Amino acid sequence: MRLIICDDLAALNKAGADEIAAVVGAKPTAAVVVATGKSPMGIYAELSTRSARGQFDATNLRVFQLDEYFGLADDDNRSLFAWMDRDFIQPLRVPLQNVVRLKSDRLAWRENCRAYDEAVKAAGGFDLAVLGIGTNGHLGYNEPGSHAHSPTRALLLSEQSMDASAGYGWSRKEVPLFAITCGMQPLLTARLIVLVVSGAHKREILTKALYGPIGPEVPASYLQTAGNVVVICDRAAAPEQALEAAATTQKKPQAPAVHRGVKADLVLGVDGGNSKTVAVVAQRNGKVLGYGRGGVGDMYGATPGGAMHAIDTAVQAALQMADVGGAAVGSASYSLAGCDWPEDQQLLTQLLSERGHALKLQVVNDSVGALRAGSPRGWGVAIACGSWSAIVGRARGKSAWIVCPWQPSAGGGGLAREALEAVYKANLGLAPRTVLTDRLLRFFNAEDVTGIVHQFTKREGPHPQAIQRLAPQVLDCAAEGDAAACRIVFKQAEDLAQVALSMARQVDIDRKEFPLVLTGGIFKHRSRLLPDAIAANVRAHAPKVQVLRSDLEPVAGAVMLAIELAGIRCDTRLRARLRNSMPDSSFFAT
């Protein structure tokens, strides 16, 4: 992701026009989808001026409408198509036969949506998507609740969107309740996405979109998983993190990119998961020099391209902080969720090797890094519980790691699913009442349990995503003594313990004194009910087990693996140096 911060609107308009002109210059027949709204209007005016001077030619473009109010007549002057026609199509002399309109006929809108998506597919996908962002994080009219795979469809407008529409030819009472919009899926797979944002009122939502959790609550947050995004904003809209990074970059002299060079004394460790990706650059003695964050690094949770983008974002930030310039480090270890099978490891190794971050690299499952971080001796069994769960084992003196190919439905997602079932059954009178009901009603902003069920099963519209964020509610209720929540927690503890014992048997350490490492966001909850129950279950069959709460973040395990890849032993002093130079815990918060 590139972020361009402009001093004023004139600079913003020029920067946006330059990005669009570069795409059209390289491919005059490009398929583009363009937003209306205030933010991109100056860019279109700049392109119109260039077109009049013969400096820009849009006559061969294939232009797709982004969104439209529902049920308007084709000739309604208040429609978004009429706006696009006035400010983009006519000034740039785009032939109407090159325009794919998003018609919102009340009777045939489903067929029109399918026809629109087929037209996008026939064009080979979008070459360029020019987007704005709503104050609630919508892209197009993909309102909060829209997931990354949402198709083109009709949906109910939010109050914020209706308020924003008032004044554009409508009174507030006249604003349509529904809109039809190009889906998130075709937008996120565009070859280039240009997000244009201006004004202080957009700073908060842009910060959430670029730096916050990825999920349907802020649809624009899925841009963190997209392959090629340029964000162009003015200083009023720029997030504080971006302004600070820009100031730091301006102070540092930039290393020439002509000769990469190698800094063999440095290593790179990357931990990629379903909520975030973290990269750390360190000296081979364990001292951390730089770190960075990205989005979803699990290619199953995003896509291979989205995962690579998240990894690149985190790595480049870490390299920049470490003042590495364009050089490669000596060794790197990537500890990634989604590295589950040999073909996954092969693909990830190929993609990461092409990036040239390090002379030597290895790619392992994220549970491997978690065990290496949590076990001072580098062996044992680790249970990693974050969005989901992973369990790994390794014997003393062995180089091989054995990752369990089957996991129980555990971690945050498992807790959430069991909680939903408990609430559904209680509502039907098939199970006792539970305080989980009130917690889930607030979480889903539903009036009753039927409303929650409807959100998951309705035929039209987005369904809730990232339900693993329910996990803290389940753990809270269990800590308060709710019977249903306690049963859920104890069942997960039993399942995880059984798999952990199986891994210990497979590496032949179950009868010995071995470390069991508990790591991941779920184990950071203030209640110790789950970890204590796991420990009790394991000790019942392996009384010599040493249950450890990892004193290092999982990315530290990736760093140690990279150091070991360089042929250096990680002793207690190195671990201490790594722990003492890691960023503050708030950097890792999800």
DSSP designation for 357: -
**Residue 143 appears among annotated catalytic residues:** yes
H/E/C letters for each residue in 240-272?
A: HHHHHHHHHHHHCCCCCCCCCCEEEEEEEEEEE
Burial of 222 (0-12, 13-18, 19+ CB in 10 A): buried
The one catalytic residue among 13, 112, 127, 136: 136
Which has the higher per-residue pLDDT, 403 or 83? Answer: 83
How many CB atoms are closer than 10 A to CB 588? 18
Rounded Cα distance between 248 and 321, Å, is: 9
Lowest mean pLDDT among 127-141, 254-268, 308-322, 405-419: 254-268
- pLDDT tens digits, one per residue of 188-218: 989 999 999 999 999 999 999 998 888 889 9
Residue 392 · residue 404 · CB < 8 Å: yes
Residue 299 · residue 344 · CB < 8 Å: yes
Backbone angles phi, psi at 481, to 5 degrees: 95, 10
Residue 547 · residue 504 · CB < 8 Å: no
The one catalytic residue among 138, 147, 309, 357: 138
The one catalytic residue among 13, 19, 46, 67: 67
- pLDDT tens digits, one per residue of 5-35: 999 999 999 999 999 999 998 899 999 999 9
- 435: Cβ contacts below 8 Å, ≥ 6 apart: 477, 480, 482, 485
**Residue 136 appears among annotated catalytic residues:** yes
The reported pLDDT for the residue numbered 257 is: 36
Both structure tokens of 100? 């794919």
Residue 430's beta-bridge partner residues? none
Average pLDDT along the chain: 89
| Residue 253: pLDDT band with limits 50, 70, 90 | very low
Query: Which amino acid is it at 318?
Result: A
**Residue 138 appears among annotated catalytic residues:** yes
Average pLDDT (249-257) is 43
Residue 386 · residue 404 · CB < 8 Å: no
**Residue 365 appears among annotated catalytic residues:** no
Rounded Cα distance between 104 and 82, Å, is: 13
Burial of 10 (0-12, 13-18, 19+ CB in 10 A): exposed
- pLDDT tens digits, one per residue of 142-191: 999 888 888 999 988 888 888 887 766 677 778 888 989 999 999 998 99
- pLDDT tens digits, one per residue of 453-463: 998 888 765 56
What is the torsion angle, in degrees rounded to the nearest 10, for the CA atoms of residue 165, residue 167, residue 172 and residue 173?
Answer: -100
The one catalytic residue among 143, 217, 234, 482: 143
Average pLDDT (227-237) is 89
Rounded Cα distance between 100 and 237, Å, is: 32
Element (H, E) at 530: helix 529-539
